[in-house]
Structure 1
Amino acid sequence: MRSMTGYGRIEENIGNYSYTVEIKSLNGKHLNIKTNLPWIYSSLELKVNDILKKYFKRGSLNVYIDIRLIQPKDIIKIDKALAKSYYDALNELAKYLHLSDLPDLELLVKFKEIMRYSIDEKDLEAIWDGLEIVVKKAIEKVIETQKSEGEKINKVIMEYVDNIENITNDIEKYAGDMKKYYSDKLKESLKDLDLEIEYNKERLEYEIALILERGDITEEIDRLKMHIKKFRDVALSNVEAMGQNLDFLAQEMHREFNTIASKSKLKEITALSIDGRLFVNKIKEQVQNIH
């Protein structure tokens, strides 16, 4: 079980480049990736995102990437003709406005078009080879923290599941008292009518059977047991989108408790079904943070 909350940071030198990759993972219903990458390497963003999608199916990922040269390399190209054109234009403007200050280098470098970054395909491939290694190591760190947090969540959820199982067993025990309950209620109703009549025992049994059939919760109890077993199986598996699977099973358990409460007239069963729904709601809160 993995939480959607995790963190990983790796700094490593590979070849002529120094890499820093930091990944923060937070809760999110769907996968949302925000990558902060130096614009000169923006063409690598899709490759980074493709790797992330292999390891994360849900959550909000904030990814920070920094790439720096270790040794100087000729990757900056100067557009000398454009620089001369800017200088001449600024010089002409200064004269026109009768300004004493003439354009200098500090002013010219503010025009970004003059200095251009240029990375050839071979260098870009080398940068990606190193970046891919560091990104995967950062992902491993994130998953490690997610699993650690997931173990804590799993412990809490399993306690809730144990409570739900105990409640289900108690409901099953009280379900056996349903016949006596309805029989007593019918007899009391007949006495309240204050009629001096003899009621047919077989007819009374028939009426009780009809009521019991309408209020039968055997199927709901069986389905609850099935959902509980399935929930445990999924929680112990490596199934993808585990959080979504567990959330679905929690909804199914909630539905069964609702049906039991609507069918049964025993106050003990009604109280137990309310307790069951409370624990299911607690599970639903927890599974929202499961990857």
Structure 2
Amino acid sequence: MKSMTGYGSTKINVECGEITIEIKAVNYRFLDSQIKLPYELMAIEDKIHKQIKEHVLRGKIDISVHVEERTSKKRVLTINEQLLDQYVSAANMINEKFSQEMKLEVSALLMDTAIAQVEEISNVNWQEEERLILKGISEALSSFNKMREEEGAYLQQDMMDWLHKLQQCCDEIETLIPSLVDRYREKLEQRIRAVLDAELEMDETRLLTEIAIFTEKMDIREELVRLRSHCKQYTKYMDVKDEAIGRRLDFLVQEMNREVNTIGSKAPDSSIRQHVVEMKGYLEKLKEQVQNVE
């Protein structure tokens, strides 16, 4: 089991300098990866996305690659001549239309980033460094996954504790079921005697019919069986490797909650209802934790 949150980083030395790679992830329903690369490395973005898919199944992933070059960069001024010509034509048209001479300020034009841009151009041939950079990405992803697995182990242990308490409640509820019928029979007999004269005999057949109807209505054994089955499936899925299990576990928590609600609505006993309240609390804890599972 892996957590969706994690962090990984690595540094690699290349001929031109040092490259720092950082990976961060938070919870997300699907896989969403954002990659921040220097302009010189944009060509390898697709390859990095493929690497991510090999290591991560769900989560919002942010990868940043920072390059600290030892070599100096050239600063190059580029002019958008087409746009500059349009400025000149516009100035000539205005001068002709208003019969006046308007001079274009060269300094103002150079301040316009749409016309003049200064770019830093690296002297490094990054294609030669591509293999090392992709290897560094792979190392950072391995570090990232190791942290997620460690966090996943803590999540799994915590969820196992809540599942165990949930199953304990099931066992305790089951021990209460046989006494419910006996207690209902006693209450029913007392009510009947309260409204009948002492000399009249109680209709045993009618009494047994009422008890049978009550027993059918409050029978929660099927819900307990399904609840235990869901707990067993939950435990099984937590051991699945190389597969996104978070959504399956979330679905099982919803199903378990449905069974617990049914038990609460059918059971007339205050002791059982108390267990239902406890189980809802355990399921809420499971629901919180399952949101962190890949």
2:291 corresponds to 1:280: no
Distance in structure 2 (CA, Å) of the matches to 1:41 and 1:168: 58
Distance 1:57 1:112, change over 3 A: farther
Match of 1:134 among 124, 133, 136: 136
What count of residue pairs does the alignment treat as equivalent? 278
- TM-score between the two structures when normalised by the length of structure 2: 0.80
Which amino acid in structure 2 is aligned with residue 285 of structure 1?
E
Distance in structure 2 (CA, Å) of the matches to 1:125 and 1:182: 82
Distance in structure 2 (CA, Å) of the matches to 1:221 and 1:109: 71
2:190 corresponds to 1:191: no
Deviation at 1:193, TM superposition (A): 2.1
Which amino acid in structure 2 is aligned with residue 254 of structure 1?
N
Deviation at 1:278, TM superposition (A): 0.7
Once superposed, what is the RMSD of the aligned Cα atoms? 3.5
- Matched with 1:93 is none
Deviation at 1:69, TM superposition (A): 4.9
Q: 2:72, 2:123 within 8 Å by CA — same for their partners in 1? A: no
* Aligned positions of 1:253-264 closer than 5 A: 253-264=256-267
Distance in structure 2 (CA, Å) of the matches to 1:112 and 1:35: 29
Deviation at 1:252, TM superposition (A): 1.3
- Matched with 2:11 is 11
Distance 1:108 1:193, change over 3 A: closer
Distance in structure 1 (CA, Å) of the matches to 2:241 and 2:53: 17
Distance in structure 2 (CA, Å) of the matches to 1:182 and 1:140: 62
Distance in structure 2 (CA, Å) of the matches to 1:243 and 1:81: 53
Distance in structure 2 (CA, Å) of the matches to 1:166 and 1:30: 34
- Matched with 2:63 is 63
SS in 2 for 1:177: helix
Task: Out of 169-178 and 190-199, give the one that drifted further.
Answer: 190-199
Distance in structure 2 (CA, Å) of the matches to 1:227 and 1:197: 51
Could you list the runs of 5+ residues in structure 2 that have no partner in the other structure? 89-101
- TM-score between the two structures when normalised by the length of structure 1: 0.81
Deviation at 1:163, TM superposition (A): 0.7
Q: C-alpha offsets along residues 111-161 of structure 1, whole Å, 9 cap, x if unaligned?
A: 7656575999xx554343222111111011111111122222222221111
Q: 1:80, 1:114 within 8 Å by CA — same for their partners in 2? A: no
Distance 1:206 1:72, change over 3 A: same
- Matched with 1:23 is 23
- Matched with 1:164 is 166
Distance in structure 1 (CA, Å) of the matches to 2:200 and 2:127: 97
Match of 2:208 among 205, 209, 214: 205
SS in 2 for 1:19: strand
Deviation at 1:265, TM superposition (A): 0.3
2:179 corresponds to 1:177: yes
SS in 1 for 2:237: helix
2:265 corresponds to 1:228: no
Q: 1:78, 1:116 within 8 Å by CA — same for their partners in 2? A: no
Deviation at 1:183, TM superposition (A): 1.3
Deviation at 1:171, TM superposition (A): 0.8
